[in-house]
Amino acid sequence: MITEDLLYIFKWWVLIFVIGLINLPLTWILFKKFIGLGYAFAKSLGVLAISYLMFLLSIFHLAKFSGANLVFIVFIFIAVNTYLFLKKKEQILTDVKDAFGFMLTSEVLFTAGLIFWSYVRAHQPDIRGLEKFMDFGFINSALKSDYLPPVDMWFTGKSINYYWFGHYLTAVLTKLSGIPSEITYNLMLATIMGLTLSSAFIISGTLVKSISEKISLRTIFAAGIISALLLTFAGNFHTPFYILKDGAKNYWYPDATRFIGYNPDVNDKTIHEFPIYSFVVADLHAHLINLPFVLAYITILWKLVSEKKKNRFDRFTSLVAGFILGTFFMTSTWDFGNYLLATGVTLTLSAFKDRDFKLIALSDTAKSTIVIGIVSLLTAAPFIINFQSIAEGIRFVHSHTPVWQLTILWGFPLVLTIFLITIIVKLKNNIARSDLFVFSLFLTSWILILLPEIVYVKDIYAATHYRANTMFKLTYQAYVMFYLSSGYIAVRAITTFKDYYVKRFMVIYFAVTFYSILSYAQIAINSYYGNLKSYRGLKGDTWLTAQYPNEANAITWLNKNVKTQENILEAPGDSYTDFNVISSYTGLPTVSGWFVHEWLWRGDPKFPQERVADITSIYQNADATTTKNLLQKYNVSYVIVGTFERQKFSYLNEAKFGNIGNLVFTSGRTNIYKIN
C-alpha cells in the first residue's frame, strides 16, 4: 500500500514540477527581482493559466474538456515559454544560477508539504463528512463533463450554481495525471499545503530582502521559514489560553474555530477558521483551494507597488493582477471582494507615499484599481453569465462580539500590529516600502475583522447563524495576511532595535508565542488522525467498501459502464449525511441531492422541495405510467434502488421499475434499472 501511494505521489509531483518548469520563463518575467525568481509561483500560475485556457475553450464549446486537449494546451505553453527562454537565454540562466539556493529551498518546502500531508491524510483518507461529498461531487462532475460549466450532480438539467473553478482545477490535474479522483482529492490537499509553504517563504523573504542590500541571507531565510510555518500550521491564542485554563487533555481543537457564540452559548453562532484547521478536516473547499492563488495575488500587489516608476504602475503586471483577481470570482467569490479591498488600500497608501499625501494620489489609485477591476471582470465574464448570485444583499448586524473574545482570537495579530506601528514610528522618515506594504495588508485585515461587527451578507443562513458565513469568509483572509507577514515583522523588529536586552526579549517572546500557537497543529492532527498510528492509504473511498459494499459496487459499475453524463435517480437526503453518495462519487447527476445545499444554490427551498415530491412519487406510487412520465420529465436513464432508497421510502414499490426498464446491475439488495 505504501509503495503504491509513493508511486502516486511521485507521479503527481512530477506533473506539478513539469508544469512549473515549463512556465519558468513566464514566471521569470514577473518575479525576476524576487528571491528564487518567485519559483513557487511557476507551479500555481502555470496550473491556473493552463486550466483557464481549457476553461475558455470548453465553456464556449470550442473544444471538449478532455485529456488530449489539455495535453495540446500544455504544448502551447511549452512553445511560448521556449520562445521566451531562447530570447532571454543568457539572462535567465544567469539569474537561475544566482537564485538556485532559494529556488531549491522553495522546491524542498513544496515537496515536504506534499509528502507530509499525503502521509497524514493516508491515516484518515475518507472522502466523507462535512462538505466532502459536495467537493468530490464537483470534481467528478467536471471530470464527466464534455463542456463547462459542470452539471450540478444534485440537480439534473442545471449547471452548478456555486464557485466551482477551484474544483475544476483539481479535475484538470486529475485528467493530466491519470490518477483516480478518489486519490487526487487527497493529493490536491497536500499540493495546496506544499504551495502554501513555498509561496509564503518567497513572499516574506522577498519583503525582507527589499529593506536593504545589507540584509543577510540568514535573515531572509529566517523570515521566509517563519511565515511559511505560521501561515500553514499555526492556530490562534485560543489554544494556549484554554490549555493553560483547562489543561491540554480537555482541549478540543474545533473550539478555536467555533468560539464566538459557543463559549458562552448565545444566539450568535459564528465561524472563524484558518488554514491548518482546513487542512486537518480536509474539505477541499473554495477558500482552501484558492489559498495558493491568493498568495500569488499578494505577490503581484507587492510587485505593483515596489517596481512602479514615475507614479505609474506596470501595465503588464496590472493585467496579470486583473487576471488572477478574476479567477477569484470563479474559485472563491468572497475573495474577489476581499482582495479588491486589499488592492485599493495597498495602492492608495503607496500613492500617498509617492505623492506626499496629496489628493492626486486618489486619482492614481482609482485609475489602477479600475483597470485591474475591469480586467478581472472580463476574465470572470464567461463564469458570471452562467452564475446567479446566491446572496440576498447586505444587512446591519444585530449582535456583536465581546471584546475579550476578539482579543483571544486576534491577540497574536494585535501584538504584530503593535510591533509594526512601533517600527514605523521609530523609523519615521526612513520607512521602507515593504513596511508600508505590510501595513496595508494589516489595515485591510482589520477592516475585514471589523466588517462582520457592522454588516453581513444575507443568505439562507439566518437566526443564530446569520453572520457566520460572512465572518468566516472575511476573517479567513485576514488570518492569511496577518500570518503571512509574521516572519517579516519578527525579523524587522529584531533587526531594527539595537539594544541588547530588547533584542533578547523579542527573540524569547517570539519563540514562546510561535511555539504556543504552533501547538494547535499537533493537537488537531493527533485528534483527527488518531495520533498517526494506522496507515490506511490515499484512496478516499475505502470507507465506502467497508460500510456500504453494495453501493460501492454500484459506483464501480456506473463509472465503468456509463461513459456519458446520463441522469440517475437516487433518494434525496439531508446535507452532511451519507445520502447521495452515488451521484457524488460518480459525477452523474441525480434529480435532487443534499437539500440545504440546493436551497442555498437555487435561492429558494421550493425548487428542491418540488423535486423531492416527484422523487417520492416515483419510488412509492404503484402506477407505472405516472412513474414513467416523471422519469421522462427529468430524463432519467438509471434508477437506483439500494440502502438509502429502502431507508427513505417506507412504501417503496420496486417491481414497476422492472416493467419500464431492465435490471442491469445487482449487488446484495442494491439494484440499478436502466429505463427504456
pLDDT category at 48 given cuts 50, 70, 90 is very high
Task: Determine contact, residues 77/49, Cβ cutoff 8 Å.
Answer: yes
Domains by residue range for the chain, with CATH: 1-141+167-210 (no CATH), 237-273+400-431+447-531 (no CATH), 546-675 (3.40.50)
Q: Spell out where 257-408 has E strands.
A: 394-396
Q: Can you give the pLDDT at residue 359?
A: 66
**Mean pLDDT along residues 70-92:** 96
- DSSP 3-state assignment of 161? coil
Q: Can you give the pLDDT at residue 366?
A: 79
Q: Can you give the pLDDT at residue 445?
A: 98
The answer to whether the bond into 254 is cis (omega within 30° of 0) is no
Cα separation, 362 vs 185, whole angstroms: 45
**Does 308 have pLDDT greater than 80?**
no
Q: Spell out where 546-659 has E strands.
A: 567-569, 636-641
Return the amino acid letter for 351.
Answer: A
pLDDT, mean over the chain = 94
Residue 133: closest CA among 626, 658, 618, 587 = 587
* 229/369: higher pLDDT: 229
**Does 130 have pLDDT greater than 60?**
yes
DSSP state of 307: S
Residues forming a β-bridge with 312 = 309
- Relative to beta strand 567-569, strand 394-396 is unpaired
**Does 585 have pLDDT greater than 70?**
yes
pLDDT category at 353 given cuts 50, 70, 90 is confident
Backbone angles phi, psi at 214, to 5 degrees: -90, -5
* 192/605: higher pLDDT: 192
Give the angle subtended at the CA of 530 by the CAs of 529 and 533, to the nearest 5°.
Answer: 105
Q: Read off the pLDDT of residues 311-339 as tens digits, 9 standing for 90 and up.
A: 556 788 999 999 999 999 999 999 999 99
Give the angle subtended at the CA of 456 by the CAs of 301 and 134, to the nearest 5°.
Answer: 80
Q: Can you give the pLDDT at residue 357?
A: 62
The helix (H) or strand (E) run that includes residue 663 is strand 661-667
Look up residue 201 and give its three cell numbers.
517563504
Return the amino acid letter for 408.
Answer: I
Q: Read off the pLDDT of residues 448-482 as tens digits, 9 standing for 90 and up.
A: 999 999 999 988 777 789 999 999 999 999 999 99
Least confident span in 97-111, 211-225, 340-354: 340-354
Q: Which residues contact 263 (CB under 8 A, 6 or more apart)?
A: 255
Q: Spell out where 243-283 has E strands.
A: none
DSSP state of 463: G
Cα separation, 344 vs 365, whole angstroms: 7
